[in-house]
Amino acid sequence: MGLINDKMKEKVIEVRNLVKKFGSFVANDHLNFDVYKGEIFGFLGANGAGKTTAMRILCGLSSPTSGEAKVAGFDIYRETEKVKRNIGYMSQKFSLYEDLTIAENIRFFSGIYGISPKDRKAKQDILLRDLGVESSKDSLIGSLPLGWKQKLAFSVAIFHEPKIVFLDEPTGGVDPITRRKFWDLIYEASDRGITVFVTTHYMDEAEYCNRVSIMAEGRIEALDTPENLKKQYSAKNMDEVFLKIARNTE
Amino acid sequence: MKFETTFMKQFIGFLKKEFLHIFRDPRTMVIIFLLPIVQLLLFGKVINNDLQDSKIGIFDRSHDNTTREITSKLLSSGYFILGEELLPGDDVEDVFRKGKVKMLVTFGPEFEKSLERDGKAEVQLLADASDPNTARILTNYAAGIINDYVKKEKLQNIQLPNQINTEVRMLYNEGLKSVYMFVPGIMAMILMLISAMMTSISISREKELGTMEVLLASPLKPIQIILGKVTPYLLLSFINTITIILLGVFVFGVPIKGSFLLLMAESFLFILMALSLGILISTVAPNQMVAMFISVLALMLPTILLSGFIFPIKNMPWPLQVLSHAMPPRWFIVIIRNIMLKGTGILFVWKETLILMFMTFVFIALSIKNFKIRLE
């Protein structure tokens, strides 16, 4: 996927000069980037680089100090409600209720997004079949293996078919095989036209993204496809790219 | 119109989820449904300052009509039962040492005769003061009964010069039953526990599990989240208020002299105050442990110790007396006692009511302020 093609695509996230300060600490220093429809956009950076802050702003969980941003075509200052209706969000902690069953979780979250019971039932059947968990429909989430929980959390986050889904370090604490399977789900969502905005600090995951941005000290230091970044920094893999950028900013 | 229906549908979906959380958690269920009843029964029945059926010994060296009548008065008062009848030559200390009696009543010889002849007679009350409070109460009660009898039955015809009779009546709680004190206190405690503590724990749990972020990133409005969190506990607190009042009235015979409606309205105000306090705690506490810790330390202990529920405020050192003004239960207990025991109306509790309203307002304002800071 080349840059020329990207530019012709529909922009679903536009960020211009976005600044977020906490007192005198600058968490996001004039961020500028676009994310295109159906893209898997990796948002990388060391802990404290400001990626979670930026993502929280785009999700409407926090308001910026200055700058402009549009998410799903809506202004994040004035149209927060519309932004929220068009995004999905999955936090680091799986974000399903452990003391509720799979079906109850789905019912609750579809209720929030105003999905009718009829639509819910139809979609729920497909979801359970695809994940192969039909027989566990009435099991409590707490009793399921970690890998299942994670896949379910992702499926619930895109249950209302948002334009963009934000994933905040979704694969933390999961083994590589489960991680790989989780990424299959991400690809499927992307094929359906859902834009995936994902933060991670696993560099093997960075390779799976269509484009990655690398943040350090509140600024975006690099933004391109993994191939171009590797060429630019003459590195074998994303790990090296990341380390070189980290050293440069020190 | 469409907006309103989605708002309500979302809200009802949220309530269903909250009730599932409550019904699936055994600890929550115990606190909500068992604790109020157990505490009321405990305080009402077991931890009881009242005297009932204390064993006493009688050593009657006179055996005349008057001593027999006094003995039967004592034993029929409900406070005492006969543990041991002593005979001349019995070892008094032995009776106490064996723990058979708490108090010994000894009538002097020729009791009736000397009473009628000289206008005075001798009774000795020996009490086991290894438990000084009980000893004091026992002797007071016994002396009261004996004096009362002698005055009413024997001294009617004798004119004593310049005698002042003090007549004591305990208003609003004639039987001096401590359960009258405990019912309002336990109501305050339980409502604090369920409204403030459970709400703060339930909100901070969502923060801890990361689901709060998901809710905030969803189309749900913060007000829906807060109301959805608070409403189940509001309902449960109200059910508990009624349970405690019913138990108080039908098991312990506590009267409701004032307006039942006013009682309910004041309880509702107190619940609102406690809920807003719970929300405030949850804006400060990052997780369930901290929420629990703050609730116990900042709510339960002061409620028990500083509200006048167990220890009279007047007996506290002045810094604690000042501090007790900031304790919402202190005002609520005053209100409840006034309505239930004295039967007074809003005219006599408006000051306390206003204080509770003011506290509710402050807690809500602080919560909103904290909430905004967190979002920035």
pLDDT at position B360 over 90: yes
Q: In three state form, how does the secondary structure of chain B look?
A: CHHHHHHHHHHHHHHHHHHHHHHHCHHHHHHHHHHHHHHHHHHHHHCCCCCCCEEEEEEECCCCHHHHHHHHHHHHCCCEEEEEEECCCCCHHHHHHCCCCCEEEEECCCHHHHHHHHCCCCEEEEECCCCHHHHHHHHHHHHHHHHHHHHHHHCCCCCCCCCCCCCCCCCCCCCCCCHHHHHHHHHHHHHHHHHHHHHHHHHHHHHHHCHHHHHHCCCCCHHHHHHHHHHHHHHHHHHHHHHHHHHHHHCCCCCCCCCHHHHHHHHHHHHHHHHHHHHHHHHHCCCHHHHHHHHHHHHHHHHHHHCCCCCCHHHCCHHHHHHHCCCHHHHHHHHHHHHHHHCCCHHHHHHHHHHHHHHHHHHHHHHHHHHHHHHC
Tell me: do B120 and B261 sit in the same domain. Answer: no
How many Cα neighbours within 13 Å face the side chain of A182? 25
Q: d(Cα A237, Cα B21) in Å, to the nearest integer?
A: 46
* Binary contact (A114, B213; C-beta < 8 A): no
Q: Give residues with Cβ within 8 angstroms of B362, minimum separation 6.
A: none
B13 touches chain A (CB under 8 A): yes
Task: Give how far Cα A233 sits from Cα of A4, A44, A202, A229, Å.
Answer: 21, 16, 19, 6
Residue B154: what pLDDT? 66
Nearest chain B residue (CA) to A104: B17
Q: Give residues with Cβ within 8 angstroms of B212, minimum separation 6.
A: B203, B206, B225
Residue B177: what pLDDT? 67
Residue B49: what pLDDT? 57
* Binary contact (A95, B214; C-beta < 8 A): yes
Residue A197: what pLDDT? 96
* Binary contact (A62, B375; C-beta < 8 A): yes
Nearest chain A residue (CA) to B375: A62
Domain coverage including residue B188: 2-47+177-375
Residues of A in contact with B13 (CB under 8 A): 107-108, 111-112
Task: Give how far Cα A137 sits from Cα of A120, B153, B179, B205, B221, Å.
Answer: 14, 82, 51, 24, 29
Question: What would the two tokens of residue B98 be?
Answer: 């064996």
Residue A127: what pLDDT? 93
Residue A171: what pLDDT? 83
* Binary contact (B20, A100; C-beta < 8 A): yes
Question: What letters, b where the CB count within 10 A reaches 16 and e where it falls short, cover B192-208?
Answer: bbbbbbbbbbbbbbbbb
A21 touches chain B (CB under 8 A): no
C-beta pairs of B265-268 under 8 Å, 24+ apart in sequence: B266/B332, B266/B335, B266/B336, B266/B339, B266/B349, B266/B353, B266/B356, B267/B187, B267/B191, B267/B238, B267/B241, B267/B336, B268/B238
How far is B248 from chain A, CA to nearest CA, in Å? Answer: 36
Tell me: do B292 and B307 sit in the same domain. Answer: yes
How far is A127 from chain B, CA to nearest CA, in Å? Answer: 20
Tell me: do B109 and B141 sit in the same domain. Answer: yes
Report, as an integer, the average pLDDT of B156-173: 62
pTM to 2 decimal places: 0.78
Report, as an integer, the average pLDDT of B83-110: 85
Query: Where a domain ends, among B154, B185, B215?
Result: B154
pLDDT category at B1 given cuts 50, 70, 90 is very low
Report, as an integer, the average pLDDT of A5-17: 79
pLDDT category at A1 given cuts 50, 70, 90 is very low
CA terminus-to-terminus distance, chain B = 32
Residue B187: what pLDDT? 85
Tell me: do B354 and B218 sit in the same domain. Answer: yes
* Binary contact (A111, B376; C-beta < 8 A): no
pLDDT at position B170 over 90: no
B4 touches chain A (CB under 8 A): no
Q: d(Cα A154, Cα A149) in Å, to the nearest integer?
A: 9
Q: d(Cα A64, Cα A48) in Å, to the nearest integer?
A: 17
Residues 127-186 of A with CB under 8 A from B: 157, 166
The residue that leads in pLDDT, B209 or B168, is B209
Q: B168 lies in a domain?
A: no
Q: B172 lies in a domain?
A: no
Residues of A in contact with B210 (CB under 8 A): 91-95
pLDDT tens column, B52-77: 788 899 998 888 888 898 899 889 88
A72 touches chain B (CB under 8 A): no
Domain boundaries, chain A: 38-62+73-249
Q: So what's the ipTM on this one?
A: 0.89
Residue A89: what pLDDT? 93
Residue B174: what pLDDT? 63
Question: Which of B216, B271, B221 has its CA nearest to residue B242?
Answer: B271
> Residue type at B218?
S
Residues of A in contact with B217 (CB under 8 A): 59-61, 84, 87, 89, 166
Nearest chain B residue (CA) to A65: B376
Task: Give how far Cα A235 sits from Cα of A230, A238, B176, B300, B361, Å.
Answer: 5, 7, 87, 61, 61
Compute the C-alpha angle B135/B139/B142, nearest 5°.
140
Tell me: do B138 and B210 sit in the same domain. Answer: no
Tokens 């604790």 belong to: B35
Residue A23: what pLDDT? 87
Residues of A in contact with B25 (CB under 8 A): 99
pLDDT at position B2 over 80: no
pLDDT tens column, A152-182: 999 999 999 999 999 988 887 778 888 888 9
Residue B272: what pLDDT? 94
C-beta pairs of A125-131 under 8 Å, 24+ apart in sequence: A127/A155, A127/A159, A128/A102, A130/A155, A131/A155
Task: Give how far Cα B335 sits from Cα of B147, B240, B259, B351, B357, Å.
Answer: 37, 18, 12, 10, 13
Residue A245: what pLDDT? 85
How far is A126 from chain B, CA to nearest CA, in Å? Answer: 22
Query: Where a domain ends, among B139, B154, B169?
Result: B154
Tell me: do B248 and B201 sit in the same domain. Answer: yes
Residues of B in contact with A162 (CB under 8 A): none
* Binary contact (B17, A81; C-beta < 8 A): no
Measured in whole angstroms, how far is the alpha carbon of residue B319 from the centre of its chain? 23
The residue that leads in pLDDT, B301 or A104, is A104
Residue B286: what pLDDT? 86
Burial of B123 (0-12, 13-18, 19+ CB in 10 A): middle
Q: Give residues with Cβ within 8 angstroms of B15, minimum separation 6.
A: B228, B231, B232
pLDDT at position A80 over 80: yes
CB atoms within 10 A of CB B355: 19
Residue B268: what pLDDT? 94
* Binary contact (A114, B13; C-beta < 8 A): no
pLDDT tens column, A108-158: 999 999 899 999 999 999 999 988 888 888 999 999 988 888 899 999 999
pLDDT at position A12 over 90: yes
* Chosen from A65, A79, A99 to mutate, greatest number of chain B CBs within 10 A: A99
Whether A213 contacts A223, CB under 8 Å: yes
Tell me: do B116 and B259 sit in the same domain. Answer: no
Residue A36: what pLDDT? 93
Residue A228: what pLDDT? 92
Tell me: do B273 and B145 sit in the same domain. Answer: no
Please give the order of strands across the beta sheet that includes A195-200: A87-90, A164-168, A195-200, A40-45, A211-216, A219-224
pLDDT at position A2 over 50: no
The residue that leads in pLDDT, A29 or A95, is A29
CATH class of A38-62+73-249: alpha beta
As for how many domains chain B has, the answer is: 2
pLDDT at position A41 over 90: yes
pLDDT tens column, B257-288: 889 999 999 999 999 999 999 999 998 888 89
Report, as an integer, the average pLDDT of B77-81: 85
Residue B162: what pLDDT? 57
Residue A43: what pLDDT? 92
Domain at B128, CATH number: 3.40.1710.10
pLDDT at position A3 over 80: no
Indicate the average pLDDT of chain B. Answer: 84
Residue B134: what pLDDT? 80
Tell me: do B39 and B62 sit in the same domain. Answer: no
pLDDT at position A4 over 60: no
How far is A31 from chain B, CA to nearest CA, in Å? Answer: 18
Task: Give how far Cα B131 sits from Cα of B73, B135, B136, Å.
Answer: 25, 6, 9
pLDDT at position A13 over 60: yes
Whether B272 contacts B360, CB under 8 Å: yes
Lowest model confidence (mean pLDDT) among A32-46, B21-35, B133-147, B164-178: B164-178
Report, as an integer, the average pLDDT of B112-118: 82
